């Protein structure tokens, strides 16, 4: 797989903190391929350029002693046997038949678990206030429980973490605001919709209660791939097919293709984590490339 990065996409990678560069020899190859007009040579040069970009990101963000641990995995390592799909169970309380307005209203008035205690407002990806949010998209991005900024704005992936996510998606030609087609659109949501007054990690039964809404979002969006960003997002999506998921470090869940009711799932780091841990941005870029392959 290769990505033909244009000037805009290269700029987006730089915004992510992934330094884009080409050594003179590689630049000469790319230039020669462009002049020759050979599509095959151009694609080869572009693939090599992307590998150089990812490796440079690792080398600038990690120490030499950790370079071998932080390298971008080979494509063959990123595509092990797919985990078996889980047969879907019925959704309760008529959720299976809800349209977007009804689902949004149900989330707003939800009393299903203790996370509602003291919440100011639920955080829902398809809230009526966000008229630009795509209703169907090839990409569905699931994030962690809402933080203060997300609750304040009533939208997932807010503030600096949201800006980083937007730049990551833009580097792939995808936007959460929709696009010319569903192939360029990403629907974003949180694994749970409420932030309690006393902030804490959600419990297993609370993740399960809110999963009903998530499953309906998945059914309405009809994505080709789900990107699970963060530990709780991975736990909620994979607990049916991987019961021990809560005990597995997020880093060890990466690089594999899972299934959530038949839809491929790729696990990656949350943008908020990447803001604090710059050296893992290259790994996140590898995750995005894997997810992109699944949308083709």
Do residues 122 and 110 make contact, with C-beta atoms less than 8 angstroms apart?
A: yes
Per-residue pLDDT tens digits for 47-90: 434 443 444 443 444 332 333 333 333 333 333 333 333 334 45
Q: Which strands, in side-by-side order, build the sheet including 263-268?
A: 186-190, 139-143, 225-229, 263-268, 258-260
- 9: phi then psi, degrees, rounded to nearest 5: -65, -35
Do residues 266 and 228 make contact, with C-beta atoms less than 8 angstroms apart?
A: yes
pTM comes to: 0.72
Closest CA to 174 of 158, 159, 161, 188: 188
Other Cβ atoms within 10 Å of 27 Cβ, number: 13
Residue whose tokens read 């000037």: 7
Task: For residue 185, give the 3-state DSSP assignment.
Answer: strand
Low-confidence residues in the chain, pLDDT < 50: 1-2, 21-89, 128-131
Do residues 294 and 264 make contact, with C-beta atoms less than 8 angstroms apart?
A: yes
Closest CA to 228 of 152, 277, 160, 294: 294
Class assignment of domain 95-295?
A: alpha beta
Per-residue pLDDT tens digits for 201-220: 888 888 888 999 999 999 99
Please give the pLDDT value at position 168.
95
β 186-190/139-143 pair status: parallel
Residue 285 tokens, joined: 């870029």
């Amino acid at each position: 797989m290769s990505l033909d990065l244009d000037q805009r996409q290269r700029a987006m990678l730089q915004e992510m903190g992934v330094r884009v560069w080409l050594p003179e020899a590689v630049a000469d190859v790319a230039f020669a391929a462009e002049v020759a007009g050979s599509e095959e040579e151009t694609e080869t040069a572009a693939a090599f350029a992307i590998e150089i970009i990812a490796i440079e990101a690792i080398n600038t963000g990690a120490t030499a002693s950790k370079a071998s641990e932080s390298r971008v995995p080979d494509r063959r390592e990123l595509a092990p046997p797919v985990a078996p799909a889980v047969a879907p169970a019925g959704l309760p309380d008529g959720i299976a038949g809800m349209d977007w307005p009804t689902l949004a209203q149900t989330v707003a008035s939800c009393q299903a678990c203790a996370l509602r205690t003291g919440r100011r407002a639920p955080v829902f990806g398809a809230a009526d206030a966000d008229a630009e949010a795509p209703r169907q998209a090839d990409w569905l991005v699931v994030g962690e429980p809402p933080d203060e900024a997300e609750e304040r704005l009533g939208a997932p992936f807010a503030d600096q973490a949201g800006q980083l996510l937007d730049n990551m998606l833009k580097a792939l030609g995808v936007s959460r605001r929709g696009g010319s087609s569903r192939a360029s659109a990403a629907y974003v949501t949180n694994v749970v919709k409420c932030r309690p007054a006393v902030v804490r990690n959600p419990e297993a039964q609370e993740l399960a209660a809110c999963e009903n809404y998530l499953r309906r979002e998945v059914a309405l969006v009809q994505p080709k791939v789900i990107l699970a960003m963060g530990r709780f997002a991975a736990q909620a999506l994979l607990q049916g097919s991987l019961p021990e998921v809560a005990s597995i470090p997020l880093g060890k869940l990466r690089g594999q293709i899972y299934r959530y009711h038949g839809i491929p799932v790729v696990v990656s780091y949350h943008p908020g984590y990447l803001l604090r841990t710059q050296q893992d941005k290259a790994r996140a870029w590898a995750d995005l490339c894997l997810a992109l392959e699944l949308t083709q």
